[in-house]
Amino acid sequence: MSYKPLILFIEDDKAIRSFMHISLEAQGYRYIDADTAKNGLCLFYSHNPDIVVLDLGLPDSDGITVIEAIRTGMNTPIIIVSARGHDQDKISALDAGADDYLTKPFSVSELSARIRVALRHRNSVLQNATTPITKFCVGELVVDYDKRRVLMQNQDIHLTPIEFKLMELLSIHAGRVLTHNYMIKMIWGNYNESNTQSLRVYMANLRRKIEIDTTKPRYFMTEVGIGYRLVDE
Amino acid sequence: MNDSVLKLTQNLLRGIITMCLLFIGATFLSLFFKRLGFNESNIIMVYILCVMLTAYFTEGYLISFLASIIGVMTFNYFFTEPYFSFEFYHSDYAVTFIFMFISALLTSMLTYRIRTAVKISLERERRTALLYHIGQRLIRAENASEMIDIVGQECSRILGVETVIATTASIGVTACTTKESFLLKSYQYFMGGSKQVDEKVLAAHHYQSMDAVYAQRKTVVDYKKNSNDQSMYYIPLDGQTVCYGVIGFKILDNEVVSEEKEDHTHAIASLMVMALERILFQAEQQKIELKIESEHLRGNLLRAISHDLRTPLSGILGATNTILDNFGHLDPNSMVELLENVHMDTQWLIHTVENILSLTRIEEGGIALNMQGEYIDEIIAEVLRLSAKNIQDYNIEVEIDDNGIMIEMDGQLIKQVLLNLIDNATKFTPIHSTIVISVNLQEINNMAVIRIRDNGKGIDPQALEAIFDRFYTSTNYKQESRRGIGLGLEICKAIVEAHKGTIVAYNAQDQGAVFEITLPVMEGGHDEL
């Protein structure tokens, strides 16, 4: 019998918890839930779940503090759930160390897709701790870290150094949303307004070099107002 | 008080000199008359006239009294025997002198009194005219700042005194001078009928006095403290409930403000307060009207929404009830059907709630847009991804003539616009229709034109006018998609206009409806880097 990942769902709405319980268990996950940040953290420390799904609007405390508490010692994947129009909250949660986000209302299939991505990512991180990866492959896109090359349909794509850095950053974190802030910090080291604009321009160029049709992207997903994501499947 | 004594002495001195000159003239004239052999009564008349003239040209009763005595004495000295002495031989002269004195005194007094009365009435007339003039102009004033200018200009021009008007922040006047630490926030200084644009610096104690006048709502006279200083007379602009500020007039250095002046300046102040209150009241009224209007709209919106939400909610309730009550008896097919209905209704509810949220964001006290440069193709990509379920049975074509078009926008809101328009297109056209999304760059005015075109029946020409109005719902819906509170297009319009763009709808020449959005392209936002 295969290992069943344990999901901790921290959400104050009972209806959502109950259907999540049913559907996630039906999909073969083990499930525990909490209705407050405090209970959530208790369960987290006692059960050490494989993944945490966290609602940002909890009654007793800010979701960000929960993320920070978890991130002090663990890198358990955290998927946050929040209402639309709270972009800034999402960005701060992602910057605080959350791995992914979902906007309410969301469907179970969306959530389970994100859970799969997060788990896969976690597993690959666990594996790579011993054997460093040299290549990233998705669809017809190949990023070769050693040779610093990007191949698309086996064709060499010429990238500028910054474009390659972006490609590298996105592919290492494939499947996850990277906020503008985070990307700027990783590429340029410090943040200022003009860098946001530069990031857009570099990303637009990168996309145009790799995507066949930028309006129906296969690899690069733009999360408007939040950041970018490279698909991993 | 030294100054006023000096002034009094000066006046007296000037009066005595005038009197002496007049008497010298009168004496020479009388001597001339005597040489001609004119009767004494003529000479008496000359002296009485002289006393009268003295009274007319000088100030104060003292001089009139003096002039009367001197008149009698000069007459006695020069024209009664023995000449050049104050003695007289005929005893009836005593009577003459007495009557001469009395008539001279009375005439002079009357003359002086009339003169003063004329002067006062002229002054009053001038003040009344000023009040009338200010009143007239204030009626036409449209805002507080204009009013301050009017009062200041007229006072300094017609009264000829330098005027300062200080007001609180509450009346919303942008000040030409602002002293941070004081209660009053705007100080405007007027001189000779015009506002002093560069800061006329009053000594610090004046600002303190003005604050004190404002705080205590009491009149204050602030005398000068040193030679560069000036004395001012401050009156609070005291309204029904609050004080709006202070008006100050320059006064003579040690002037005691007369009751009349006090009344008059207070009249100006109250005129100004009345006008101020009228304007503030008007503004308040407008605000209330606006609020009522928006409450009204909100009410309508709520009614429309509640009404429209009820339908899908009843659907959901009914379907879930049916499933719960008949669980186990229902065949799987009808269960799936019921659940599909619930799903559809929920989808619709979500969409509607998104629209309502966007609308409230747009309407909440102006617009809090989160503007950032976004590439239009990224936005379209995301919109297509989000509406994937909706458009899976349609043929979507995207035509972008320049991938590098960057538009400064609130991405979430523009996304909502495009989602609504695509949703609309799918609602009004049969499945497998073609929906074309195109983006063109208008080089002339640097605008991006986004068109959503379908190949359906087009829009009823009569409906084109009202299509962006709130709650407009077409009667032409496809059979099952019965609803839509008609908020979608209104929201699109509000969002696009908040981005300084335009949105229009028209029917394409060949076939189908076109929604055309024009948005300004960001500076340098279509250059390939």
Residue-wise pLDDT tens digits, B225-271: 877 788 888 989 888 888 888 888 888 877 777 888 888 888 888 88
Q: What percent of chain B has pLDDT over 70?
A: 88
Q: Average of pLDDT values for A130-152?
A: 83
- Check residues B315 and B253 and name the one with the higher pLDDT: B315
Question: What are the tens digits of pLDDT across the range B338-347?
Answer: 888 888 888 8
- Give the pLDDT score at B366: 53
Tokens linked to B202: 């009053």
CB pairs under 8 A between A and B: 63
Contact B341, B319 (CB under 8 A): yes
- Predicted model pTM: 0.57
A54 membership: H or E segment, kind and range: strand A51-55
Question: Looking at chain A from residue 102 to 141, which residues have their Cβ under 8 Å from any Cβ of chain B?
Answer: 105
Interchain CB distance below 8 Å, B378 and A222: yes
Residues of chain B with Cβ-Cβ distance to A223 below 8 Å are 382
End-to-end CA, chain A: 25
Question: What are the tens digits of pLDDT across the range B416-456?
Answer: 889 889 988 888 888 888 999 999 988 888 889 999 998 88
Find all residues with CB under 8 Å of B309, minimum gap 6, and list them.
B349, B352
Q: What is the mean pLDDT of chain A?
A: 85
Contact B525, B466 (CB under 8 A): no
- Give the pLDDT score at A51: 92
Interchain CB distance below 8 Å, B381 and A214: yes
Residue B518: pLDDT above 90? yes
Note whether A39 contacts B: Cβ–Cβ < 8 A: no
Interchain CB distance below 8 Å, A213 and B398: yes
Whether ipTM > 0.90 holds is: no
Q: What is the mean pLDDT of chain B?
A: 81
Note whether A160 contacts B: Cβ–Cβ < 8 A: no
Residue B480: pLDDT above 50? no
Note whether A197 contacts B: Cβ–Cβ < 8 A: yes
Phi-psi region of A154 (alpha: psi -120 to 50; beta: other; left: phi over 0): left
- Give the pLDDT score at B449: 92
Residues of chain B with Cβ-Cβ distance to A197 below 8 Å are 373
Question: What are the tens digits of pLDDT across the range B174-222?
Answer: 554 555 566 777 778 888 778 776 665 677 788 888 888 888 888 888 8
Write phi, then psi, for B499 (nearest 5 degrees).
Answer: -95, 15
Tokens linked to A172: 């290492």
Q: Average of pLDDT values for B37-47?
A: 86
Nearest to B272 by CA among B233, B239, B240, B234: B239
User: In whole angstroms, what is the distance from residue B160 CA to residue B148 CA?
Assistant: 17
Say which range, A1-5, A79-83, B20-24, B410-414, has the weakest mean pLDDT: A1-5
User: In whole angstroms, what is the distance from residue B41 CA to residue B31 CA?
Assistant: 13
Residue A64: pLDDT above 50? yes
Q: Which residues of B touch A (CB under 8 A)?
A: 346, 350, 354, 357, 361, 370, 372-375, 377-382, 384-385, 398, 400, 403-404, 406, 410-412, 415, 437, 529
- Give the pLDDT score at B3: 64
